[in-house]
Structure 1
Amino acid sequence: MNVASLTGGSTTPYPMANLSETQGDVSAYAQMIAQLYPAQEYRSRDEINAQDAALAKFKEDLKIKGAALFLQELNEEKIEALVEEYRQKLMKLKEENPEQPIDVNQMVSDFRKQLLKELTEAQKAEQSQKSSAAADPMMSADLLENIKTTKAKEKTALQGEEGFLEKMLSPHSREKEKQAVI
């Protein structure tokens, strides 16, 4: 005997009329969710990047100018922005203290020279790091060879020596111990 035979109904938990109402409720609920939380169409990173105008301009500039020229122009833009910010700060300071003589153009020129000097020093340091990095593989190979040689020497030196466990188990060492005791 099953539950349907006892209640006189069908085996479905809901009558058929209610099932269509439930489906309608579910679809209404799904529509409400879609309105509240609109889903965006999935796009791969390549598709997103293809539509990014700034990224496309960056890639084009990099192709046309080359990495070195592009980096140089980028650094110049950064320096110009810093210089302009410094100029604005000096002009504001000059307006606040009119009795204090400030040569804005000379100070801006000195600041620009200082930034260019720092840039060239950073580039020289980077160049020296690159040249030392190129020499490092040779040094690494030498170090690796020295380590291999040292391990080989240790291995040959240890082959002549018996370990504690080997001494205990070898019959020759037992005889030597007996002779030493007698």
Structure 2
Amino acid sequence: MRIIPFENVKPVALHLVKGGRWLLASNIGAVVVCDLENSKDPGRLLVPRHPDAHPRQPITDLKVDVLANASTLTFHLAIGQYHPAYHPLEDTPLWTHIWKVMLKGHGADAHLEATHLTSFTTARSLMCKNVSLYGLRYARAVIYADLGQCVEIFDWSASNLQELRKTAINEPCVGAVIDGL
């Protein structure tokens, strides 16, 4: 049995990258990667915790969009970071981080390297039910206490901590639209 050292976090977000070699696991705002083809790999930090995010805010979603036209394994990684409704932190926003991850090296020397592309925040929802990442779009189904359920779609390439490019679907959330796509 292999033990990958990371803090005991609930809920833990996991993603097995296409091809099955790389396992991504959340770790209180950070992401650890484990090479499943190397039995001696203890796992290593791939994405550090964002310095402005709440120190106890867990990662609840990891979504991967593999770039099919890249010559080597390359993918965008969306990290959703929020406190679930059953254990909220007061006035803590929902964080979304987008990273580009590339395979470097070959065979036993292969490893993943991540480059930060953008981060953005939105008001804390009551619950984030589902998320999706494809191309330049990041979508999530959320429930707001005052607005109800809606789907938010972000153009992550044009969003950052100062500005959001967002569209909301469902009438109760129309008031939450900041900037249409």
Q: TM-score, normalised by structure 2?
A: 0.17
**Bigger radius of gyration:** 1
Greater length-normalized contact order (CA 8 Å, ≥ 6 residues apart): 2
Q: Larger strand proportion, structure 1 or 2?
A: 2
Q: Larger helix proportion, structure 1 or 2?
A: 1
